[in-house]
Structure 1
Amino acid sequence: MTHRHDGELVVFHIGLEIHRWWRPDVWLPAFMAMPAMLRELFADPESALRGADVLIGRGGPYVVQYWSSLDALYAYATAPESEHRPAWTRFNKMARRHPGAVGIWHETYQVARAETMYVSTRRRGLAAATEAIPVTARHDRARQRIADGRTA
């Protein structure tokens, strides 16, 4: 399988880096904020969040999110009524009280082209966030899929 998508696509990575594992009182509130945000976004049919994968990295958990619009991502991040705003305020207060205990990082990508391949896996990543389609003979090589601009 591969994916197909027309229109804007944004991939957003956000992670929690836990520096003091022995201080769950400091990092647990930030850790618990992300599931609340994801529930809020997935419950809203107007949300531009198209999919998300929760992963564990070297420093802690992170989420890869797939959005249909950069403007929608920024609108959610700044909306005073969203779960994000109070969580961000709480994190900043905690970070000032306990510097270096926990960190937050994120990266945002506007995707012009993407190549994907899924063999014997559940729908995940771009295939889950957009549309999963069979790989045809015309697109059975990565170079062909990226040249065709499946996400453009």
Structure 2
Amino acid sequence: WVEFNRRFKTSRGDVGIWHETYLVKAGAYEAIYSGMPAFGLGKVSELVPATGNREAARQRLSG
């Protein structure tokens, strides 16, 4: 990490760091994984398949 930061200071914009923080109520988010292992929110919470009445985002997020 130290070496990365040293090189980053002299980069020409080839690499960037993006960080955002959000306050989100429990259950008021979704994370979709396809062809990859769960990580982030999906790794620390219950995974629910988006099938049946949960196939459309409107249905999933309306409560």
Give the secondary-structure state (helix, strand or coil) at the position aligned to 1:143. helix
User: Unpaired segments of 5 or more residues in structure 1?
Assistant: 1-15, 23-57, 63-105
Letter aligned with residue 109 of structure 1: Y
Q: CA RMSD in A?
A: 2.7
Q: 2:61 aligns with which of 122, 126, 146?
A: 146
Q: Tell me what 1:21 maps to.
A: 10
Say which structure is richer in helix.
Answer: 1
Matched, 1:59 2:16: yes
Q: Deviations over 1:54-83 (max 9, x none)?
A: xxxx424x6xxxxxxxxxxxxxxxxxxxxx
Say which structure is richer in strand.
Answer: 1
Question: 1:19 offset after TM fit, Å?
Answer: 5.4
TM-score by length of 2: 0.55
Matched, 1:122 2:37: yes
Task: Report if the CA contact (8 A) 1:139-1:145 is conserved.
Answer: yes
TM-score by length of 1: 0.28
Give identity over the alignment, percent.
32
**Bigger relative CO (Cα 8 Å, ≥ 6 apart):** 1
Question: 1:137 offset after TM fit, Å?
Answer: 0.3
Letter aligned with residue 21 of structure 1: T
Question: 1:130 offset after TM fit, Å?
Answer: 1.2
Question: CA 1:116–1:143 in structure 2 vs 1: closer, same or farther (change >3 Å)?
Answer: farther
Give the secondary-structure state (helix, strand or coil) at the position aligned to 1:144. helix
Rounded to whole Å, the distance in 1 between the matches of 2:42 and 2:20 is 20
Give the secondary-structure state (helix, strand or coil) at the position aligned to 1:122. coil
Q: 2:49 aligns with which of 129, 134, 152?
A: 134
